[in-house]
Amino acid sequence: MANFSSDLAILGGGLAGSLIALAMNRYRPDLRILLVEQEDRLGGDHVWSFFETDVAPAHRDLVEPLIARRWSGYEVHFPGHSRLLSTPYASVTSERLDALVRAALGANALLTGAQVAEASPDRVALADGRTIAAGAVIDARGIRGLPHMTGGWQKFLGRMLRLSVPHGLERPVVMDARVDQLDGYRFVYCLPFSPREVFVEDTYYSDDPRLDLPVLRKRVGDYADAMGWHIDSVTYEETGVLPVIAGGDFEKFWNSAPDPGVARAGTRAALVNPMTSYSFPDAVRFAMHLTTLDNLSGVSLGRRSHSWAANHWRGGRFYRMLTRMLFGAARPEERRAVLERFYTLPEGLIERFYAGRPGLADMARVLAGKPPVPVGAAMASLAGRGYPLAPLGRAGDLR
Ligand SMILES: Cc1cc2nc3c(=O)[nH]c(=O)nc-3n(C[C@H](O)[C@H](O)[C@H](O)COP(=O)(O)OP(=O)(O)OC[C@H]3O[C@@H](n4cnc5c(N)ncnc54)[C@H](O)[C@@H]3O)c2cc1C
C-alpha cells in the first residue's frame, strides 16, 4: 500500500514542475496533483527572465502572478552601436514562485524535503522508503548535462547590488558587450530592480565550463566601478553553467534516462532554446499543453512528452546551426560580431527568434548579408565536434 496517491505526481519543484502544478491547479481542478521537491523551498535560487512576447496571449494568465518586476523595453550595447528595443521584459524570482505555488496548491498537494529515488509511469519511490501511487508521473527533476549532445556553454555569475546612490538605469541592459572579451564572447547583463538595486550578471559564451567565482565577482565589481556605482552590499548571488547545443542525437539522449517510459518536462526533456539555454517559454507552453490532455495515464503521458520533446528538438535545428556558427568563430571578437549584427535586425524578427518561432524569411534574414563568420566554414569547424555536454559534474549542472 502506497503512502500517497494522486492522479498526477510531478517530480521536481523547479521551474517546469512548478509551472505544471500551477497550470493543472488552475485549469484541471478535477485532478489530484502531488508536487515532490527534494529541497525545502521550491525553485532554488533563480531570477528567470523572459521577453513578454515569448509567452502566448492565451498563456499570460498563468505567468502574470509570478512576475516580480517588468519593464517596458530593454537596451543592448556593442562597441559599434547601442539600441533601445521596445519589447517588454519581465523577471520571475524563485521566492515568488515558491510563495504562489504553496498558496495555490495547499499542503496536501505538496511534498517538500522529499527526494525521489526511482520512478515508473505510475509509481514513485522516495529515498526514505515512502511510495506514491499515481495515475501518471512526470519527471521535472532538471538534469546534469545533456548526454549524447555537443556544443559549448553559457556561464555566468550574477549579483544583486544595493547601491548608495541611484544607478540611473531605466530598463534592463540585456547585453553590454563593450566589456573586454575574455574566455569566449563576454557581456554584462543588468536588471534594475529598484532605483538603488541592480542585478549585474557577468556572462560568457565559452568553450570551457569552469567558473572562477572570485574572478567573476571582481569583474562584477569592476563593471559597477566603471558605471560609477558605489556598492553598499550584495544581497543575492546566482551562478549558472548552461549547455549551448550545437548538435546531438535526440533519441539516444531520450533513451539514456534512468526511468524508461516516464514522462519528462523542462530541462530533463531538453525543452530549452539550444542557443540561449533558456527554458522559460517552453516550460510555459508545455505546462499549458498538459492541461488540454484527456488521457492522463502514465504510459500515454510518457509517449506524449516524448513526441513533444522530439518535435521541439526538430524545431531547434536553426538554433543549433547558429550555435555552430557562434562557436565556430575562434576569436571572441568574432563571436561578438555575430551578436552585434543580430541586434541590427528588425525588432519583430528578434522577438520571434527569442520566442522560438522564427519564420523562414527570418532565418534567411539572419543568415543573409555578410555574417562575420562564413556559415560554411563555421559549420565545418564544429561539425561532428563541439564538446560533449555530459557529464559535466557539479560546475556544469544544467539547473
Ligand atoms: C542561475 C540560473 C539562471 C537562469 N536564468 C534563466 C532565465 O532568466 N530565463 C530562462 O528562461 N532560463 C534561465 N535559466 C535556465 C533554465 O530556465 C533554468 O535552469 C530552469 O530552472 C530549468 O528548469 P527545470 O524545471 O527544468 O529545472 P530546475 O529549475 O533545476 O528544477 C529541478 C528541480 O528538481 C529538484 N530535484 C532534483 N532531483 C530531485 C530528486 N531526486 N527528488 C526531488 N526533487 C529533485 C531540484 O531540487 C529542483 O528544484 C537559468 C538557469 C540558471 C542556473
Give the three cell numbers for residue 126: 522516495
Q: Does residue 390's CB lie within 6 angstroms of at least one atom of ligand 1?
A: no
Question: Which atom of ligand 1 is the closest one to the Cα of 267?
Answer: 26
Q: What is the pLDDT along the chain (399 residues), one digit of tens a residue?
A: 899 999 999 999 999 999 999 999 999 999 999 999 999 999 998 899 999 999 999 999 999 999 999 999 999 999 989 999 999 999 999 999 999 999 999 999 999 999 999 999 999 999 999 999 999 999 999 987 799 999 999 999 999 999 999 999 999 999 999 999 999 899 999 999 999 999 999 999 998 999 999 999 999 999 999 999 999 999 999 999 999 999 999 999 999 988 989 999 999 999 999 999 999 999 999 999 999 998 889 999 999 999 999 999 999 999 998 888 888 776 777 888 888 988 999 999 999 999 988 898 998 888 876 555 555 555 545 444 567 786 544 333 433
Quote the pLDDT of residue 114: 98
Q: What grid cell was written down for 10?
A: 510531478
Contact 384, 133 (CB under 8 A): no
Does any ligand 1 atom lie closer than 6 A to the CB of residue 243?
A: no
Closest ligand 1 atom to Cα of 268: 26
Task: Establish whether residue 203 lines the binding site of ligand 1, counting it when its CB lies within 6 angstroms of any ligand atom.
Answer: no
Distance from the alpha carbon of residue 96 to the mean position of ligand 1, in angstroms: 15
Q: Is any ligand 1 atom within 6 A of the Cβ of residue 115? A: yes
Looking at the domain covering 4-70+92-146+248-315, what would its CATH class be? alpha beta
**Alpha carbon of residue 34 to chain centroid:** 24
Per-residue pLDDT, 328: 77
Count CB atoms within 10 A of the CB of residue 157.
22
Ligand 1 pocket, 49 CB below 6 A?
yes
pLDDT value for 310 = 98
pLDDT value at residue 394? 39
3-state DSSP helix/strand/coil % of the chain, to nearest 5:
35, 30, 35
Q: What does the alpha-carbon distance between residue 357 and residue 342 come to, in Å, rounded to a whole number?
A: 16
Distance, in Å, from the CA atom of 361 to the CA atom of 245, rounded to the nearest integer, reads 23
Q: Which residues, including other chains, have CB under 8 Å from residue 290's CB and lie 6 or more apart?
A: 20, 23, 24, 138, 265, 301
How large is the C-alpha radius of gyration of the chain? 21
CA of 80 to the centre of ligand 1 (A): 35
**Chain region(s) in the chain for CATH 3.30.70.1990:** 149-245
Give the integer Cα–Cα distance in Å for 248 and 150: 6
The pLDDT value given to residue 391: 57
Q: Retrieve residue 253's grid coordinates.
A: 539522449
Instruction: Please tell me the pTM assigned to this model.
Output: 0.94
Q: Kindly report the CATH number that applies to the domain delimited by 149-245.
A: 3.30.70.1990
Q: Is the CB of 36 under 6 A from ligand 1?
A: yes
The finding on whether 15 has its CB within 6 A of some atom of ligand 1 is yes
pLDDT value for 295? 82
Report CA torsion sign: 26, 31, 32, 35.
negative
Decide whether any atom of ligand 1 lies within 6 Å of the 151 Cβ: no
- In the chain, CATH 3.50.50.60 sits at 4-70+92-146+248-315
Q: How many CB atoms lie within 10 A of CB 359?
A: 10
Letter string b/e over residues 319-356, b meaning 16 or more CB atoms within 10 A of that residue's CB: bbbbbbbbbbbeebebbbbbbbbbbeeeeebbbbbbbb
Predicted local confidence at residue 396, as pLDDT: 37
